[in-house]
Amino acid sequence: MINNAMRTRTTFTRAACTVAVLLLVLLTAVACASDASGDRMMGNSASDMSKDEDYFGEAEDFTGIGNGASAPPSEEIAKGETDASDEEYATKIIRTVTMRAQTKAFDTAVTALESMVVDCGGYVESSYIYGAGYDASARTSRSAEYVFRVPAEQLDAFLAGAGELCVIVSNNSSANNVTSTYYDIVARLETLRAKQESLMSMLEKAEDINTMLTIEDHLYQVIYEIESYETQLRLLDSRVAYSTVSLTLSEVVEYTEVGEQSWGERLGDAFRDSWVAFGKGFQSFTVFLVAAFPTLLVLGAIAALVIVIVVKTNQKHRRKTQKPKDGE
């Protein structure tokens, strides 16, 4: 029994030593394999890094930075892009001015305004002069309505000159930014022109008559749209290049005071204006009577004659009716 137990213990010990040796060998092999793999990875990484360094070195040489040139600051790059954008997309602004003015020297002001707009490089788009002068029998003032087209860069100078010639009663100006609308039309035109070229190329290659007719219909529609957009662009260019000034000029004896007035000043002006209006009305009435006197005289004579005839006719009729009564 004892011998069997000793044999069993000896066999177990040997097996345990064998297993321990095998485990040690396996661990050693795994460690070596791991070291080799790590070395390979490090080698590949170093190789990749060297390749990246070569690539970026070439990039630096290409941009000029690797040769000692300094990189342009980001602010300069942004500024350059902004300048290019500004040159490509210039601002389009339509300026419009509406004015009312007064003058005591109507003829002089009209002549000077028309000459000044020509000197500024503009032109008179429309004009309308109406009314009679203060020396005329109608006793009414004259007025002029103008629409001037003035180059945009000369608008301020023209307005300043008009202010020196006349008394400006009101001045209303506006500036309409049509930049987005303008360049939207430009973009549409570019698209339509590219489509036109494509259709023309297709038309040259078409062999079937029906296909040619279909392509021609599309081509005519595109041409019509192109012409329409080009007309809109020309109109916008004209309105941007030449500002519009609408001026109403009135002839007066006394200038209208511009500014806030007190209650007493308003009462005084109203009382004075009422007497002025009464005087003008009385003068107009007397002028009317004098002018209408011949007509009134003729009408009075006709009316008197009619009255006489009617009275005599009535008298004769009464006499005839009274004779039969006397005979009875």
DSSP characters over 282-300: HHHHHHHHHHHHHHHHHHH
Residues 6 or more apart in contact with residue 67 via CB below 8 angstroms? 60, 61
- Give the pLDDT confidence score for residue 34 in this predicted structure: 46
| Residue 99 exposed, middle or buried by CB count within 10 Å (0-12, 13-18, 19+) | buried
- Give the pLDDT confidence score for residue 154 in this predicted structure: 95
Burial letters 268-281, b for 16+ CB under 10 A, else e: eeeeeeeeeeeeee
Is the same domain home to 34 and 126? no
Neighbours of 150 (CB within 10 A): 23
- Give the pLDDT confidence score for residue 56 in this predicted structure: 35
Of the three residues 259, 287, 315, the one that is the final residue of a domain is 259
Please indicate, yes or no, if residue 162 is contained in any of the structural domains. Answer: yes
Domain count, the chain: 3
Please indicate, yes or no, if residue 77 is contained in any of the structural domains. Answer: no
Q: Whole-structure pTM over 0.95, yes or no?
A: no
Is the same domain home to 250 and 118? yes
Cα-Cα end-to-end distance for the chain: 202
Burial letters 153-179, b for 16+ CB under 10 A, else e: ebbeebbebbeebbbbbeeeeeeeebe
Is the same domain home to 56 and 122? no
Q: What is the pLDDT of residues 18-29, one digit of tens each?
A: 545 555 555 555
Please indicate, yes or no, if residue 134 is contained in any of the structural domains. Answer: yes
Q: Report H helices in 64-133.
A: 74-88, 106-119
Domain that holds residue 284: 267-299
| Residue 113 exposed, middle or buried by CB count within 10 Å (0-12, 13-18, 19+) | buried
Q: Which of 193, 156, 178 is nearest to 233 (CA)?
A: 178
Contact between residue 242 and residue 152 where contact means Cβ atoms under 8 Å apart: yes
Is the same domain home to 277 and 178? no
- Give the pLDDT confidence score for residue 67 in this predicted structure: 37
Q: What is the pLDDT of residues 86-145, one digit of tens each?
A: 446 789 999 999 999 999 889 999 999 999 999 999 999 999 998 876 554 444 578 999
Is the same domain home to 253 and 278? no
Burial letters 239-251, b for 16+ CB under 10 A, else e: bbebbbbbbbbbb
Low-confidence ranges of the chain (pLDDT < 70): 1-88, 133-140, 256-262, 265-266, 269, 273, 276, 280, 323-328
